[in-house]
Amino acid sequence: MNSTPKKSKPLFWFYILVAYVLVQFVWWSYSMIQQYNEISYLKSQINVLNGESLNDIVKSGNELNAKLHARWIMIAGEGSVFIAILLIGIYQIRKTFKKETALAQQQKNFLLSVTHELKSPIASTKLQLQTLQKHELDRNKQKEIISNAISDTDRLNNLVENILLAAKIENSVFNIHKENCNLSDYLREGLNQTISSFNYKQKLELNIDPAIFMPIDRTSFPSIVLNLVENAVKYSPDNSKITVSLRKGKEQIILCVADEGAGILDTEKVRIFQKFYRVGNEETRNTKGTGLGLYIVNYLVEQHNGTICVKNNHPNGSIFEVIFSL
C-alpha cells in the first residue's frame, strides 16, 4: 500500500523543479520585454526633449519599434528553443525514470521468486529424506519418495543453470559451439526423458517430423525447449494438452510449443522476453518461475539464427513459434 508514494516521490519533486524553471523563464521573458518597452519609451522622450522635429521623432520611433519587434522575435525564438530542449529533457528523464523503476520492480520480483524457488525444492527434498530416515517404508513407497526427491533436485538444478546462464549472457562470456545434429531424434529423446523425470499434470504430446538436421549447440539448445515446455506447464490447467511440434519448411525449421492455458495479452507479448519480467506481481502470483526462462530462450534462439514469436492458440492458450533459418 505504501510503496507507490515512495516510488513517485522523486518524480514529484522533479516536476516541481520543472514547474519552477518554467515560471522563472516566463518571468524572465516578461521582464525582458518590459525592459525593452521602457528603454524604447525613454529614448522617445529623450528625442522630444532634444527638440527634434516631428518627422525625426516619428522616424526614430519607427526605428525603435523595429528594434523592439526584433527583440521580441529574438526572445520568442530563444524561448521556443529553450522550452523545446526542456520538454525533450523532461521526456527523456521521465522515460529513464520509468525504465529504472520497472527494472527495480522486476529485480525485486526476481529476488522474491528466486527465494521461493530455492527454498521449495530444498524443503521438499529434506522432508522426503527425513521420511526415509524416520520411517520403515515398503520398497515401492521408498522408490516413490526417492523419485520425488530426484525430481525436486532436477528442478533446483535447472533453476541454478538458468541463473548461471543468464549471468553469462549478461556478462557477454557465453559462447556456443554448433555441430550438425539430428534434431528430430535429439528432441524426442530429451523430451521423453523429461516426461519420465517430471510428473507433469498435463499431457505432453510430441509431433516431431523425422530426420530433420540442423547445426546446434548441444549444451545450450535443450534450454530452449525445456524453458518453453516449463513455461507452458506453469500456465496450463491440469489434464490439458501441451504440444511440441517440429517441422521443416523450404529454408527454415519451425519449432512450436502450444498450450491450452490462460493465454497472454497482446500488451504483454512484447515484454515477456525481457529479463526478470513476469506477468503480474510476485507478491500475489501463484505460478513458479524467475522471469529468466523466456529471456534465455530469446537469446539462445538468436544465437541459433532464429526468431521467436507468440501467437494465440484457439480456443485458448498460447503458441510459442521458433523459426530457424537454414
Q: Which amino acid is at 236?
A: S
Distance from C-alpha of 40 to C-alpha of 213, rounded to nearest angstrom = 86
What are the structural domain ranges in the chain?
3-106, 179-325
Which range, 30-34, 202-206, 244-248, 274-278, has the best average confidence (pLDDT)?
244-248
Distance from C-alpha of 130 to C-alpha of 145, rounded to nearest angstrom = 10
Q: Which amino acid is at 122?
A: I
1, pLDDT greater than 50: no
pLDDT tens-digit map of 240-274: 999 999 999 888 999 999 999 888 888 888 888 88
pLDDT tens-digit map of 72-104: 777 777 777 877 887 888 788 888 887 777 777
- Give the rounded percent of residues in the chain with a pLDDT score beyond 70: 77
Confidence at residue 244, expressed as pLDDT on a 0 to 100 scale: 93
In CATH, the architecture of 179-325 is 2-Layer Sandwich (3.30)
Cell 523425470, residue located: 197
pTM: 0.60
183, pLDDT greater than 90: yes
In three-state secondary structure terms, 325 is strand
